[in-house]
Amino acid sequence: MKRQEHLSGLKVIPREFRAFFEGLLLVSGLMVLAIVGFLIEGIGKIFTCWKKLIYLLGVLLLFGIAAWFYWVLYMPNPGNSGEFRTVFIPRGASARQVAELLAKEKIVFSPDRFLLAAKLYKARRELKAGLYRLPLGESNAKVVRILRKGEVAEIKVSLPEGIRARKMASIFQRKVGVDSAKFM
């Protein structure tokens, strides 16, 4: 999915969540219209004041929920866009271990926010192992999608013809990070 940006630079919400947020905005807009209608009415009865307060709290709650979803899923992590970090996710690593590794490498800001994003995408058990070249400054949703699809980094290694196994092991250790003893 190509990244689209508004003129303000904010990232566009992915299609799978767009309908949810549009519905949320529609309901919020209707509630604001209802509150404005009650405020214009100006009856001044105690019942009406409580009704206004309940509607206002409902609107604030909906906006709070929408802001929380944005904060967890789409808020860009710190880092310069365009920069990449190479990270190795070991086979059998739990979602918590992956989140802590990504936070240690400063790809994500908070392991807990990343875990929430993985849970919301139902991808906690689907994060694939491998060597990844991950962009800095991306949202948790984008990082979860990359790890879920298994878009691993490609490593090119050239071996001269007739090379001995020990030399080959040292080249693989230097380029790929494979333990030369295990290679042999």
CB contact at 8 A, 143 and 103:
no
pLDDT at 111 over 70: yes
Using pLDDT thresholds of 50, 70 and 90, give the confidence band for residue 39.
Answer: low
Distance from the first to the final alpha carbon of the chain: 41
How much is the pTM?
Answer: 0.59
Q: Residue 164 pLDDT more than 80?
A: yes
Question: What is the C-alpha separation between 165 and 168, in angstroms, rounded?
Answer: 5
- Tell me the per-residue pLDDT of 58-98, one tens digit each, with 9 for 90 and over: 888 988 888 888 888 878 888 777 788 888 899 999 999 99
The per-residue pLDDT for 114 is: 93
Helix H or strand E encompassing 134: strand 130-135
Is the domain spanning 78-176 CATH 3.40.30.10? The answer is: no
C-alpha 12/C-alpha 2 separation (Å) is 10
